[in-house]
Amino acid sequence: MISNLELKQFRGLEHVRFENLGRANLIIGGNNTGKTSILEALVLLLGGYTQVSNLPETFREQPSNTRADNYWPYIFKGSSDAAFQLSTNDCQINTTSDGNGTVFNRSSDLQPGSTILMNLQGGSVNFSNFEAREIISILTTKHGDPSEISELYNQIAPLNPDNELKLEELLRKAIDPRLRRLRYAKPQGTSTHLVYVDFGDGPMLPMTQLGQAFIRTLQIYCEIFANRPKIILIDEIENGLHHEGMEDFWKGLMAVLEDQDVQLFATTHSRECMEAAQKAASGMSGDPLRFMRLDRMVDDPSKIVGTTFGKREMETAIEFKTEMR
């Protein structure tokens, strides 16, 4: 599990370091302070070939025909001649420049060594010795494809039937207590398999007829149970979730993260989401939750500092109504 994370000269961050990270890590801070940059750094450090090559359009909107030259040169803070460094307790990236372009060298205990050669002037990016193995899952603010989520759901029972029952119970507690069961089906007259939901008061409904909270939560758990990543990254985790169900959502999620040995890094803009996570963690054994806060320095707004704190500090902030987002 990642216990520390350090970024130097990466995007808008000159130097930030986060220590004592936990099972669930919520990335918070004001607008344009670098929350998404933390997720991008983790993709570069731990992502597989497809995840890294698709990074320009994973979290940010890019014109399809110019995504390379609109993205890669700008991951350097200042000029593209400057080197950046990314590191955790398990892996690191160092950059060097030569006559052919900028070279990223990645060394990791979790991923085999790999190299990215970037020609910044020509806009081309080439990968060598790059493994396709994916040990992280990534959920963005974009709506998940219902058929892809359904295919993930269909993998859960063969891997572990108990997880299918756990998923139903998690959705029942966090989203809708009427839920009786889920089924992967392709009824006669339909064109694709989907997850169908039985609420006990009529025909089963396809997941496409349910709200964003149901689909988002189902997608998160399907990623964990079916893909079994070491780390899951979620941008704006609160999207679609009503504040009244957030504490139950966090209780269920943190229990599953521990049970499945998965580490979470997620951004949020929502105070309700932060408070719900803190309340859920306060009733759990151990100390699973950390907040990774990014702040602009008062005397020099061009510089951003990173701080890690736990549920007790958040409890104090909530008590005194301190702004923590």
Summarised one tens digit per residue, pLDDT across range 185-225 is: 999 989 999 999 999 999 999 999 999 999 999 999 999 99
Look up residue 308 and give its two tokens: 């890690």
Q: Tell me the range of 66-80, 111-125, 273-287 where mean pLDDT is highest.
A: 273-287
Number of compact structural domains in the chain: 2
**Of 197, 228, 259, which residue constitutes the final position of a domain?**
228
Average pLDDT over residues 281-289: 88
Residue 71 has pLDDT above 90, yes or no: no
- Segments forming the whole domain that contains residue 208: 143-228
Q: Which of 66-70, 100-104, 117-121 has the lowest mean pLDDT?
A: 117-121
Same domain, 208 and 252: no
- CATH of residue 287: 3.40.50
Closest CA to 275 of 240, 211, 323, 234: 323
Same domain, 61 and 39: yes
Same domain, 306 and 234: yes
Whole-prediction pTM? 0.92
pLDDT one-digit tens code per residue, 117-166:
665 555 566 776 666 578 999 999 998 899 999 999 999 988 888 999 99
% of the chain with per-residue pLDDT over 90: 59
pLDDT one-digit tens code per residue, 28-54:
999 999 999 999 999 998 988 889 888
Same domain, 17 and 166: no
Mean pLDDT of the chain: 87
Same domain, 194 and 239: no
Residue 241 has pLDDT above 70, yes or no: yes
Same domain, 152 and 176: yes
- Helix, strand, coil percentages (3-state) for the chain, rounded to 5, are 35, 30, 40
The CA-based angle 45-47-53, given to 5 degrees, is: 105
Look up residue 237 and give its two tokens: 């985790």
Same domain, 174 and 213: yes
**Of 205, 228, 251, which residue constitutes the final position of a domain?**
228
Residue 69 has pLDDT above 80, yes or no: no
Task: Give the whole-angstrom CA distance, residue 235 versus residue 143.
Answer: 12
What pLDDT, on the 0 to 100 scale, is given for residue 122?
55
What confidence category does residue 168 fall into, taking pLDDT thresholds of 50, 70 and 90? very high
